[in-house]
Amino acid sequence: MGEAVVGLIGMGDMGKMYARRLSEAGWRVHACDLPDKYDLLVEEFKDSENVTVFKNGHHVSRSSDYIIYSVEAKNIDAVVAAYGPSTKMGAIVGGQTSCKAPEMAAFEKHLPSDVEIVSCHSLHGPGVNPKGQPLVLIQHRASDASYNLVSKILSCFESKHVKLTAEAHDRITADTQAVTHAAFLSMGTAWAANNQFPWEMPRYVGGIENVKINITLRIYANKWHVYAGLAILNPAAKRQIKQYAESVTDLFKLMLGGHKQELRERIECARKAVFGNADGSKGHELLLQDELLDQFSLGEKPAASERLKNNHLSLLAMVDCWWKLGIVPYDHMICSTPLFRLWLGITEYLFRNEELLEEVIDTAINDNTFRHDDLEFTFAARDWSERVSFGNMDGYRSKFEKIQSYFAPRFPEATRVGNEMIKTIEESLKQRKGNQGN
C-alpha cells in the first residue's frame, strides 16, 4: 500500500491535529465530521491540498486504507455501527479514544471480518507537540505488515511508540489519567464551592500551587466528554477513583481528630511504598525543581514570610491511594501524559523534602484556617467518585460544565501560562534524561 490513504472520522481537536500533521508529512487524508460541519471543514482545510473533506463516514470508510475514529468515547459504538460496515475490503481500522474496551467491543461487533484492527492513543492533548510524547499502538487483530504500516504512517509525529494490548492500556491509563483528573477536578470543585480564584490568595501562589492551579484550569478548559469517557467507560478506573476519595476522607478525619502520630505513620508507610526507603529517593533525581515551578504563576508570588502553609491533602491522598492499590507510578512513565508527569513531579517534590513534609503534618494538625477548603475538597472527591461509580454521564457533565463556567473567564490566560509551563518543564525533563545518558 505505497499510496495508503488515511481516513479520519471525527474532526474535533484531535482529528484536526492528526489531519494537519499527516497531510504535512505527505499522506493523503480523507476526513469527515458530522454532515452539518462539512462546509466549515471544507473552508478550514481549503489550503491543505492533501486533505479531502467528505460529507460523512461512509465516504471516508470506503475510500481509505487506514481509518481512525476520532470521536467521543461515549459515541464510539454508534459511530462504528454506522460506518464500520462501509469499510473498504482489507483496510485497517483504529480509534483514538482514550479508553479501549468500548472501542474494541465496537470494532469486533460492527467491522467486517476481513478488516484488520490497529488502534492508537496519543498520550497528550491537541495543543502539545507530539514529538517525544508516548503514542500507544495496539495490534488487536492485524498482521505484522499492517501493524508496521500504521507505525510508519504515524511515525511523522515523532512520538515514542509504545505497543500494548487494549487491556494493559486501560489498566495503565486508569492509574495515570483517570485518578489524576479526579484529584484536579476535586480541587476546582472545592475552589468554586468556596467562591475562590486561588491565584488571588497568597496561600495559593508559588511552586506546587502553580502546578495545581494551572492544571486544574487546563482540565476545566477542555471538553467534559474526554474526562467522563476515560473515567466512566474504563473498566479499571472506578476502583482507583474510589480509593482516592477514601484516602482523602481517611486522612481528613485523622487531621480533624488531631491524630498526629497516626497521620505521620500512615504518611510514612505510603512514602516508603511509593518513593522507597530512608531518604525516599529510589535512586533518581527529583523530576521537578522549585525554581522551575515558580516561573509559572497567574498571580504575584508572595514573600516567603507571607506564604501561608498548606497541608496538601490532595497530594498526601494521592500517595496513600497509590500505596493502598500497590501502584508504583514510576512504572508507568513510558506510558504517561504531561499532566501525570507534573502531578507525580509535585507529589515527589513534597514527599522527598523532609522539612516540607514535616511542615505539612504540622499544618494538618495545628492550623485550622483552611479546614473549610479541605472539607469542600473531601466532599468533592467523594462526589466525583460516586458519579463515576454510578456511570452517570449526565451527572458528570452537569457538574463539570457548572464549574467550567465559573473558571471560564480565566481560561485564555491560564491556557497560555499552562502551555508555557508544560513546554518548559518537558524540555527540562528531556534535557536531564539526555544528561543521564538514557
Binding site for ligand NDP (CB under 6 A): 9-15, 32-34, 57, 70-73, 75, 79, 96-98, 122, 125-126, 222-223, 226, 229
**String marking each residue 212-241 x if it binds ligand ENO according to CB under 6 A:** -------x------x---x-----------
Residues binding ligand ENO: number (CB under 6 A)? 11
**String marking each residue 327-346 x if it binds ligand ENO according to CB under 6 A:** ----------xxx-------
Per CB under 6 A, which of residues 92..131 are in contact with ligand ENO? 98, 123-125
Rg of the chain taking only CA atoms, in angstroms: 23
Q: How far apart are CA 76 and CA 88, in angstroms?
A: 19
Pick what 339 binds: ligand NDP, ligand ENO, none; C-beta below 5 to 8 Å, kind-dependent: ligand ENO
Please identify, using beta-carbon distances, which residue of 352 and 397 lies nearer to ligand NDP.
Answer: 397
Output the smallest distance, CB 237 to ligand NDP, in A: 13
Query: Which residue in 83, 85, 59 sits closest to 69, CA to CA?
Result: 83
Q: What is the DSSP string of 2-35?
A: TTPEEEEE--SHHHHHHHHHHHHTT-EEEEE--G
Pick what 71 binds: ligand ENO, ligand NDP, none; C-beta below 5 to 8 Å, kind-dependent: ligand NDP
Pick what 337 binds: ligand NDP, ligand ENO, none; C-beta below 5 to 8 Å, kind-dependent: ligand ENO
Please identify, using beta-carbon distances, which residue of 46 and 416 lies nearer to ligand ENO.
Answer: 416
Q: Name the DSSP class of 53.
A: E
Output the smallest distance, CB 74 to ligand NDP, in A: 8
Grid look-up 462546509 returns 39
In this structure, what is the dihedral angle of CA atoms 270, 271, 274, 277, given to the nearest 10 degrees?
A: -120
Q: How far apart are CA 303 and CA 380, in angstroms?
A: 31
Label residue 393 exposed, middle or buried (CB < 10 Å: 0-12, 13-18, 19+): middle
Pick what 177 binds: ligand NDP, ligand ENO, none; C-beta below 5 to 8 Å, kind-dependent: ligand ENO
- Given a contact cutoff of 8 angstroms between Cβ atoms, the answer to whether 387 and 399 are in contact is yes
Output the smallest distance, CB 25 to ligand ENO, in A: 21
Please identify, using beta-carbon distances, which residue of 48 and 75 lies nearer to ligand NDP.
Answer: 75
Please state at what angle helix 338-351 crosses helix 179-193, rounded to 10 degrees.
Answer: 80
Pick what 33 binds: ligand ENO, ligand NDP, none; C-beta below 5 to 8 Å, kind-dependent: ligand NDP
Phi, psi of 139 (to 5 degrees): -90, 85
Q: How far apart are CA 180 and CA 171, in angstroms?
A: 14
Report the interface residues with ligand ENO, using CB under 6 A. 98, 123-125, 177, 219, 226, 230, 337-339
